[in-house]
């Protein structure tokens, strides 16, 4: 089982036709898995104890550029930190992010967001100095009764 507590602070500041977007999530996750004393967590890229906690902070600063009605390009930087107090494990990534956001492409779809982020591990017991890449597509459906 796992339980996650998180707080998100986000905002957008108009800058003429552009917008500055700031986003920060602070989290505390507690995990308990299986009967073995340790396990590998692919989500955190760390070896965790059978019962362990992970503190995290993920932040982004982006500039949004409108391309057309309901379509925008967002580009900027991200910072991602994970810390396991029990073992002292620390993972820290820093890099750039780019997103293409389409608002309301269909009545039941609130947003489609295609994104990529590329950076480097500043701290990690096995990956310090390595390149990091993450890409994906997020779709927000809004179902009405």
Give Rg (Cα) of the chain: 18
Q: What are phi and psi of 13, to 5 degrees?
A: -120, 120
Residues ≥6 apart with Cβ < 8 Å to 67: 73
Three-state DSSP class for residue 33: coil
Q: Render pLDDT for 2-52 as a digit per residue (tens, 0 to 9).
A: 899 999 999 999 999 999 999 999 999 999 988 899 998 888 888 899 999
pTM of the model: 0.86
């Amino acid at each position: 089982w796992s339980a996650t507590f998180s707080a998100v602070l986000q905002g957008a500041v108009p800058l003429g036709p552009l917008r500055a977007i700031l986003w920060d999530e602070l989290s505390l996750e507690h995990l308990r898995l299986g009967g073995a004393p340790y396990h590998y967590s692919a989500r955190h890229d760390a070896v965790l104890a059978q019962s362990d906690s992970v503190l995290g902070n993920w932040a982004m600063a982006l500039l949004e550029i409108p391309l057309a009605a309901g379509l925008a390009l967002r580009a900027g930087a991200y910072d991602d930190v994970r810390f396991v107090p029990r073992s002292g494990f620390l993972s820290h990534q820093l890099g750039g992010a780019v997103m293409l956001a389409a608002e309301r492409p269909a009545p039941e779809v609130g947003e489609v967001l295609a994104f990529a982020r590329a950076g480097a591990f500043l701290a990690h017991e096995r990956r310090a100095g390595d390149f990091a890449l993450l890409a994906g597509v997020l779709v927000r459906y809004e179902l009405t009764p």
